[in-house]
Amino acid sequence: MPLVAHTALPTFDLLKKQGMEIHEIGQTSDQDIPELHIGFLNLMPDAAFKATERQFLHLVGSSIQNIHYYVHPFTIDGVVRDEATMDYINTYYTSFDVLKTSGLDALILTGTNPANPTLELEPFWEPLGEVIDWAAENVTSMMCSCLAVHAIVKHKHNIERKLLQKKSWGVYSQRITNSNHPLLKNINSPFEVPHSRNNDISAEQLKAAGFEILVQGTESGVHMAVSPDMFRMVYLQGHPEYDKISLLKEYKREVIQYFEGARVTFPDNPENYFNLDIDELIHPYREAVTRAKDIGYKMPVLPEIEIESFLENTWRATGEAVFDNWLGLVHQLTNTDRYLPFKAGIDPDDPLNLKTALRGK
């Protein structure tokens, strides 16, 4: 069932124009269909703020569960914003205080670009901790992306993320390590997921704190893990929400940083993302940018349209399926004793057995 356009958020209209079924408030009042209210904490920097909002709403709206989804976007203090983004937030976003009063069934948390050596020094650290602590006691499950994963495991378990020798970014093959977990029902292995990060939480660190690793890759490390109770916190170090051009946009930003002197070296290509046809476009572009920088000329234009024609999104279907499984479980467990762990021998295809297991009976 579809997303419900319960506010004037422009993303609802955009997704509708892209072919997604979106219901208006009046279409839901006379239907005996359950609702889920999902908070969406958007911490992304301005350049990716609206795109990330659209990407995660797409994943929720792609669910085939017989549920109406109400997504409530909000943000917190501590992330530097330009005037246009602040106007957008003030117009279309709600506040955390309002959501604490009204309540949520689930919460999606995004990452952001940290500016300090440790997360505790970030201006958003304390407001984010308040959200995490509240959600841990008041929502059925949290779906945490990238830096949000690192922040939660530091805040809750004092696990320190580690700086990678080089940035992990590209599209990587992932293998399921626990095919019986309900989050991975009907998911084929291996599958691909984009990653993009300079820091990492390793499988060894997570396992030592009682987390279960559900999906990981040889090149990329852990993609998906769950908290010791097996469902309340779902951690994604990868980015199933990405569009096919997301890594291209990031590549472009890093090239600009190199040209303007914000980074010393020209960025490496995202791994397993550019094919041979793209390489033929990138190689002369790289030489042209380097030459223009050396002699003080204007930065050459990246041939984005040509590159985009060769790109493929090989991860979207799997991301949609995982989110569908997650939302189905949230619905099943919202009115149960959600904090008890899974028991051995549960049949993930039997939701009643799942409820019984979570109740500890």
- The arithmetic mean of pLDDT across residues 42-52, rounded, is 95
pLDDT grade for 200, boundaries at 50, 70 and 90: very high
Q: Map residue 83 onto helix, strand or coil.
A: helix
Taking alpha carbons only, the member of 205, 214, 208 closest to residue 233 is 214
Average of per-residue pLDDT values in the chain: 90
Q: Kindly state the average pLDDT of the residues 179-188.
A: 92
User: How far is it, in rounded angstroms, from Cα 164 to Cα 162?
Assistant: 6
What value does the mean pLDDT take over residues 258-286? 96
For residues 11-23, average pLDDT: 95
Active site residue 250: no
Confidence of residue 30 (pLDDT cuts 50, 70, 90): low
Asked whether the predicted pLDDT for residue 81 surpasses 50, the reply is yes
Looking at the predicted structure, is the pLDDT value of residue 188 above 90?
Answer: yes
Question: What does the block give as tokens for 64?
Answer: 């085939």
Catalytic residue, candidates 53, 192, 241, 254: 241
115: pLDDT strictly greater than 90 = no
Question: Is residue 239 among the annotated active site residues?
Answer: yes
Q: Which of 37, 68, 150, 239 is catalytic?
A: 239
Domain 3-243+313-359 has CATH 3.30.450.90: no
Active site residue 144: no
Which residue in the list 58, 68, 122, 146 is annotated as catalytic?
Answer: 146
| Exposed / middle / buried, residue 65 (Cβ in 10 Å: 0-12, 13-18, 19+) | buried
Report d(CA 132, CA 334) in Å as an integer.
Answer: 18
The pTM for the full model equals: 0.90
**Six-digit token pair at 280?**
């033929």
Strand-pair category, 35-41 with 68-74: parallel
pLDDT at 345 exceeding the cut of 50: no
In the chain, DSSP finds a helix count (H) and a strand count (E) of: 12, 11
Query: In the chain, where are the structural domains located?
Result: 3-243+313-359, 246-308
Using DSSP's 3-state secondary structure scheme, residue 210 falls into coil
Whether residue 118 has pLDDT greater than 70: yes
The dihedrals phi and psi of 113, each to the nearest 5 degrees, come to: -100, 110
Q: Is the dihedral of CA 305, 306, 308, 309 positive or negative?
A: positive
For residue range 290-336, what is the model confidence (pLDDT) as tens digits? 999 999 999 999 999 999 999 999 999 999 999 999 999 999 888 65
- Residue 194: which pLDDT band, with cuts at 50, 70 and 90? very high
